[in-house]
């Protein structure tokens, strides 16, 4: 295998092998942009190292050869005493994991080469010692595993309140000694001075950082597979910390928050890359670079345009200016907010850079779902206490907490919390996940908090500098002396950056109003409208709703549902009607039972009339009653307690007896679904008659009768025969079909299709029974352990497990269709609204997906994306 690629050998399509950073550095190199020379060690080498515990054979040799080539090219060798080549060792996985893995700069410095570096920089001793102390600090923390605070504290002690740029060469030189002392104390060994040894150790530390706890957590959150590994980039150093004619910055080719075109970024003079993200000093807006160094600024803007036209998308970049010379250190297609994604996709169409087809694939159902989040009520009385930067949109209300640990603790108790920090760092990740929103007092829109929150779709306000955050005391102070302590409720608006004291009421999004029928007026809604229309044209899958009330049905229709794929009738037996179900269960004679059913029938009929009317001629799949009947009876404990008192009535005694009689060890595997229809005479027939009569009264009604939990064709045949009789009696036509939610049904689909005009995959039960996972228990009990162990990357109840459950679906689709070519196929489990599962449904050839009304737009969009 080839484990090392020079930047001139790679390209942006090799992300699997070279990681995102390596692939894009290669791409920029080949575009002729000013990238410092370097090479990339592949993810394959990392995977080998992580699984085998050692570097693959040949890697060392290949790295040595590439290093020699780099040295030859640069005309200096790594760490050469009088004129050193220095390199950075940078992580870079296939998917960007901001700040989660390691990077070491200034490799190659030691007590000799530090003087050579000063000479290179025209006798700039200060710069050379600053670079050296940075190396020991970063290397100590990352490679040697020393607590970073030890170095920070030593640095703070020397600074004594000054900025790091105020330290002179002598102070920095003494700091290097102090740092070396710390290394010696902590590891029992001297700081390694052999440049090649430094580089080798740094490479392995980057490999190892793939499995750092925060990286594992981040991957889980972002659903990044655990076994990809990271590539390692070795890049000739360029220096932003040589003086005030140097610096480092980050930029976006357009605003990742709103999508607007413009100059958007942060710059820090006389600094190295990590200073920007770490928030050591406050950055300046990129526009100001024009004043400081117009030539570099103009070149940067030109490069940004080249990149946008080349990648045909928003790019983010990292750059360094070394003594007036611009260098590109990274680019990638940048993360953006949901609103920006929709705007940018349509802007690029208008610019002629991409087609509408491509534009639809550039936005996701998850992003659309985010735009459907509520926002704060504009008219409400609000007590605004401060304003920060609108780093990640949305409206979040919760109790202020000041540490990641408290955020996790309180959210586990069911509290909504807002994590308030001066700035966040990767160690805050768990708290950021647990919080409803994130508020920081420092750092710009490219700070850690902002980048990570945007990636998670979490509301974030950052850089609210008016706030004095005291995390130790657990409080912050806003202008005017307002003090917010832990537990006080605050509201933050990630769209405007505003911060309010107390709870602010929230209202629906403009996008939801649009789906509800409002005319598109602002440019975001127009972009959504355009892309949704195109997705609707492109998609092959139909989209139906899971709805069991006329209100839900009507909303679903407004949102674009083309029918109801699952109307659960059991919800119609609650409330006052429970009484009638009790009577049904307690009936001891045919007459009593029939009386209870006769009382239920007109109620059911009126339910169905309402739904047929709401759906106005679109198909309505009604599922006959599914859950075990004791779910409708009072709780056994309550009954037992009551039974022991004088208050208990005769009915209570009978109910208790019935509950005891009906008790099952595994109710989900017991008397439910089609089994109820076969065991309780008259129950299903009552429902079928109510459906038929309702359909007769609503012109154009298209009922489809669905039988749940069928495992054998004989069950279905028996119910079907009776249902057909009733339909004929009433004089109404309806399709009769079944759910496929028991593995046996999937495996005998060709038989079942003989008796079914449609299948609807009930993937909730199908997942439960295929895995043997109780759908009501396991997610809360042991799934987090399973996720940690990487047994799956996401709960199979959330995203359809293609390999197992999906295999059952495939078998049923194939066998069902071969037995009955016009068999209509859909899905109505929760997976019907999950983007990845929708793509599966498209791939496997279903006719439609059915999901909850609020997911309908997501399903329409994803069905369109799946088809493109
Ligand atoms: C299913 O099992 O996937 C289904 C839709 O039915 P329910 O969730 O009502 O069991
Ligand atoms: Mg089910």
| Ligand 1 atom with the shortest distance to the CA of 830 | 3
Q: Tell me the per-residue pLDDT of 344-392, one tens digit each, with 9 for 90 and over.
A: 999 999 999 999 999 999 999 999 988 987 788 877 888 999 999 888 8
- Is 483 found in the same domain as 555? no
Choose which residue among 544, 568, 737 to substitute to test ligand 1 binding: the one with the highest number of ligand atoms within 8 A of its C-beta. Answer: 568
Angle (CA) 191-193-197 rounded to 5° is 100
CA of 759 to the centre of ligand 2 (A): 13
* Within-domain flag for 513: no
Residue 392: predicted pLDDT: 83
Residue 289: predicted pLDDT: 96
- Is 475 found in the same domain as 378? yes
Confirm or reject: Cβ of 548 under 6 Å from ligand 1: no
Residue 539: predicted pLDDT: 98
- Reported in sequence order, the residue ranges of 349-416 that DSSP labels E, i.e. its strands, are 375-376, 383-387, 389-392, 395-401
Catalytic annotation, pick one of 46, 48, 66, 448: 448
ipTM of the complex: 0.99
- Is 79 found in the same domain as 11? yes
Confirm or reject: Cβ of 566 under 6 Å from ligand 1: yes
- Is 454 found in the same domain as 311? no
Catalytic annotation, pick one of 828, 831, 839, 842: 828
| Residue 664 to residue 488: CA distance in whole angstroms | 46
* Within-domain flag for 572: yes
**Which residue's CA lies nearest to atom 10 of ligand 1?**
765
Residue 496: predicted pLDDT: 85
Least Cα distance to 569 among 595, 554, 549 occurs for 549
Residue 865: predicted pLDDT: 98
Confirm or reject: Cβ of 552 under 6 Å from ligand 1: no
Of 460, 492, 507, the one marking the end of a domain is 507
* Within-domain flag for 659: no
Query: Would you tell me how many other CB atoms lie within 10 Å of the CB of residue 199?
Result: 20
| Residue 239 to residue 325: CA distance in whole angstroms | 10
Domain that holds residue 477: 373-507
Across 260-264, 441-445, 530-534, 725-729, least confident range: 441-445
pLDDT at 276 over 80: no
Judge contact between 561 and 863, C-beta under 8 A.
no
Contacts of 675 (CB under 8 A, 6+ apart): 709, 715
Q: Determine the 3-state secondary structure of 493 from DSSP.
A: strand
Residue 278: predicted pLDDT: 62
Q: Tell me the per-residue pLDDT of 460-484, one tens digit each, with 9 for 90 and over.
A: 999 899 999 999 999 999 999 999 9
- Is 820 found in the same domain as 735? yes
Q: Give me the phi and psi of 559, to 5 degrees please.
A: -80, -5
pLDDT at 819 over 90: yes
* Within-domain flag for 427: yes
Active-site residue, 448 included: yes
763 is in an annotated binding site: yes
pLDDT at 455 over 80: no
User: What is the rounded average pLDDT for all residues in the chain?
Assistant: 93
Confirm or reject: Cβ of 765 under 6 Å from ligand 1: yes
* Within-domain flag for 22: yes
- Is 121 found in the same domain as 75? yes
| Ligand 1 atom with the shortest distance to the CA of 708 | 6
* Within-domain flag for 495: yes
Q: Tell me the per-residue pLDDT of 130-187, one tens digit each, with 9 for 90 and over.
A: 999 999 999 999 999 999 999 999 999 999 888 888 999 999 999 999 999 999 999 9
Q: Tell me the per-residue pLDDT of 181-207, one tens digit each, with 9 for 90 and over.
A: 999 999 999 999 999 999 999 999 999
666 is in an annotated binding site: no
- Is 119 found in the same domain as 42? yes
| CATH number, domain containing residue 326 | 3.30.470.20
Active-site residue, 460 included: no
Q: What share of the chain is helix, strand, coil (3-state, %, to 5)?
A: 50, 20, 30
Residue 374: predicted pLDDT: 76
Residue 507: predicted pLDDT: 79
- Is 276 found in the same domain as 415? no
- Is 311 found in the same domain as 405? no
| Ligand 1 atom with the shortest distance to the CA of 566 | 5
* Within-domain flag for 442: yes
pLDDT at 332 over 80: yes
- Is 203 found in the same domain as 303? no
- pTM (2 d.p.): 0.82
Residue 277: predicted pLDDT: 61
211 is in an annotated binding site: no
* Within-domain flag for 635: no
pLDDT at 578 over 90: no
Q: Tell me the per-residue pLDDT of 597-636, one tens digit each, with 9 for 90 and over.
A: 999 999 999 999 999 999 999 999 999 999 988 888 887 8
Choose which residue among 668, 828, 833 to substitute to test ligand 1 binding: the one with the highest number of ligand atoms within 8 A of its C-beta. Answer: 828
762 is in an annotated binding site: yes
| Residue 475 to residue 228: CA distance in whole angstroms | 41
| CATH number, domain containing residue 446 | 3.50.30.10
- Quick one: 667 exposed, middle or buried, by C-beta within 10 A (0-12, 13-18, 19+)? middle
Decide which of 233 and 393 is more confident: 233
Of 507, 530, 549, the one marking the end of a domain is 507
| CATH number, domain containing residue 594 | 3.20.20.60
CA of 834 to the centre of ligand 2 (A): 17
Across 138-152, 258-272, 323-337, least confident range: 258-272
Q: Tell me the per-residue pLDDT of 637-662, one tens digit each, with 9 for 90 and over.
A: 788 888 888 888 888 888 888 888 88
| Residue 177 to residue 170: CA distance in whole angstroms | 11
pLDDT at 302 over 70: yes
Residue 446: predicted pLDDT: 65
Report the share of the chain in percent with pLDDT over 70: 99
Decide which of 520 and 21 is more confident: 21
Q: Give me the phi and psi of 104, to 5 degrees please.
A: -125, 130
| CATH number, domain containing residue 100 | 3.30.1490.20
- Is 577 found in the same domain as 721? yes
43 is in an annotated binding site: no
Of 317, 333, 349, the one marking the end of a domain is 333
Q: Tell me the per-residue pLDDT of 789-804, one tens digit each, with 9 for 90 and over.
A: 878 888 899 899 999 9
Q: What is the mean pLDDT of residues 296-302?
A: 97
Judge contact between 199 and 232, C-beta under 8 A.
no
Residue 760: predicted pLDDT: 98
Q: What is the mean pLDDT of residues 733-742?
A: 98
- Is 688 found in the same domain as 799? yes
């Amino acid at each position: 295998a080839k484990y090392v690629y020079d930047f001139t050998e790679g390209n942006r399509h090799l992300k699997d092998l070279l990681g995102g950073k390596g692939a894009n550095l290669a791409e920029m190199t080949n575009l002729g942009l000013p990238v410092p020379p370097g090479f990339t060690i592949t993810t394959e080498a990392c995977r080998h190292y992580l699984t085998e515990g050692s570097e693959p054979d040949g890697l060392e040799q290949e790295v040595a050869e590439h290093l020699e080539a780099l040295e030859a090219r640069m005309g200096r060798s790594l760490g050469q005493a009088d004129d050193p080549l220095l390199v950075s060792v940078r992580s870079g996985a296939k998917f960007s994991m901001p700040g989660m893995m390691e990077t070491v700069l200034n490799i190659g410095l030691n007590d000799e080469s530090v003087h050579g570096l000063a000479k290179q920089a025209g006798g700039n001793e200060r710069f050379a010692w600053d670079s050296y102390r940075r190396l020991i600090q970063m290397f100590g923390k990352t490679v040697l595993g020393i607590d970073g605070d030890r170095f920070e504290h030593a640095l703070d002690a020397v600074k004594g309140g000054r900025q790091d740029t105020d330290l002179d060469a002598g102070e920095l030189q003494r700091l290097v000694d102090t740092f070396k002392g710390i290394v010696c104390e902590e590891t029992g060994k001297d700081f390694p001075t052999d440049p090649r040894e430094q580089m080798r150790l740094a490479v392995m530390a980057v490999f190892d950082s793939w499995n750092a706890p925060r990286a594992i957590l981040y991957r889980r959150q972002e659903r990044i597979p655990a076994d990809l590994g990271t590539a390692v980039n070795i890049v000739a150093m360029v220096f932003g910390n040589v003086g005030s004619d140097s610096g480092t910055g980050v930029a976006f080719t357009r605003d990742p928050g709103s999508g607007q075109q413009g100059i958007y970024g942060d710059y820090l003079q006389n600094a190295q890359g990590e200073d920007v993200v770490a928030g050591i000093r406050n950055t300046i807006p990129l526009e100001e670079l024009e004043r400081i160094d117009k030539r570099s600024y103009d070149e940067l803007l030109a490069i940004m345009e080249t990149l946008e036209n080349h990648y045909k998308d928003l790019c983010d970049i990292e750059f360094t200016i070394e003594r007036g010379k611009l260098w590109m250190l990274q680019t990638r297609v940048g993360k953006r907010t949901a609103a920006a994604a929709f705007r940018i996709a349509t802007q690029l169409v208008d610019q002629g850079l991409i087609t509408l087809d491509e534009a639809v694939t550039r936005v996701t159902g998850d992003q659309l779902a985010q735009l459907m989040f509520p926002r704060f009520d504009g008219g409400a009385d609000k007590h605004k206490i401060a304003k920060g930067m609108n780093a990640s949109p949305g409206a979040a209300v919760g109790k202020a907490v000041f540490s990641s640990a408290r955020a996790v603790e309180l959210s586990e108790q069911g509290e909504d919390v807002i994590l308030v920090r001066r700035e966040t760092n990767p160690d805050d990740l768990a708290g950021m996940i647990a919080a409803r929103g994130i508020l920081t007092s420092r750092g710009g829109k490219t700070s850690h908090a902002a980048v990570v929150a945007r990636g998670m779709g979490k509301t974030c306000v950052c850089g609210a500098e008016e706030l004095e955050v005291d995390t130790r005391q657990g409080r912050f102070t806003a202008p005017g002396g307002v003090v917010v302590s832990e537990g006080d409720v605050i509201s933050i608006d990630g769209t405007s950056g505003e911060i309010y004291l107390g709870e602010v009421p929230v209202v629906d999004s403009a996008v939801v109003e649009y789906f509800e029928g409002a005319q598109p007026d602002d440019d975001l809604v127009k972009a959504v409208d355009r892309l949704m229309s195109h997705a609707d044209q492109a998609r092959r899958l139909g989209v139906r709703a899971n709805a069991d009330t006329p209100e839900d049905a009507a909303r679903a229709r407004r949102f674009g549902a083309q029918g109801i794929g699952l109307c659960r009738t059991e919800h119609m037996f609650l409330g006052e009607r429970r009484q009638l179900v009790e009577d049904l269960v307690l009936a001891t004679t045919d007459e009593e039972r029939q009386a209870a059913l006769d009382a239920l029938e007109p109620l059911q009929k009126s339910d169905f009339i309402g739904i047929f009317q709401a759906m106005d001629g679109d198909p309505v799949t009604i599922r006959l009653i599914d859950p075990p009947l004791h779910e409708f009876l009072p709780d056994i404990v309550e009954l037992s307690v009551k039974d022991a008192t004088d208050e208990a009535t005769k009915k209570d005694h009978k109910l208790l007896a019935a509950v005891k009689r009906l008790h099952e060890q595994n109710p989900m595997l017991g008397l439910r679904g089609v089994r109820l229809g076969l065991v309780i005479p008259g129950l299903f027939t009552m429902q079928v008659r109510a459906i038929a009569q309702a359909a007769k009264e609503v012109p154009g009604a298209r009922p489809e009768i669905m039988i749940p939990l069928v495992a054998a064709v004989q069950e279905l045949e028996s119910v079907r025969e009776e249902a057909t009789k009733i339909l004929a009696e009433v004089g109404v036509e309806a399709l009769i079909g079944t759910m496929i939610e028991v593995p046996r049904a999937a495996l005998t689909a060709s038989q079942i299709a003989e008796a079914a005009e449609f299948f609807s995959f009930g993937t909730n039960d199908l997942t439960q029974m295929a895995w043997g996972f109780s759908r009501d228990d396991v997610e809360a009990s042991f799934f987090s352990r399973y996720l940690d162990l990487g047994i799956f990357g996401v709960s199979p109840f959330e995203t359809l497990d293609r390999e197992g459950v999906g295999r059952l679906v495939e078998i049923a689709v194939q066998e069902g269709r071969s037995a009955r070519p016009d068999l209509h196929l859909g899905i109505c489990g929760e997976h019907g609204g999950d983007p990845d599962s929708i793509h599966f449904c498209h791939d496997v050839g279903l006719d439609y997906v059915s999901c909850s009304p609020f997911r309908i737009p997501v399903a329409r969009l994803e069905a369109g994306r799946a088809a493109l």
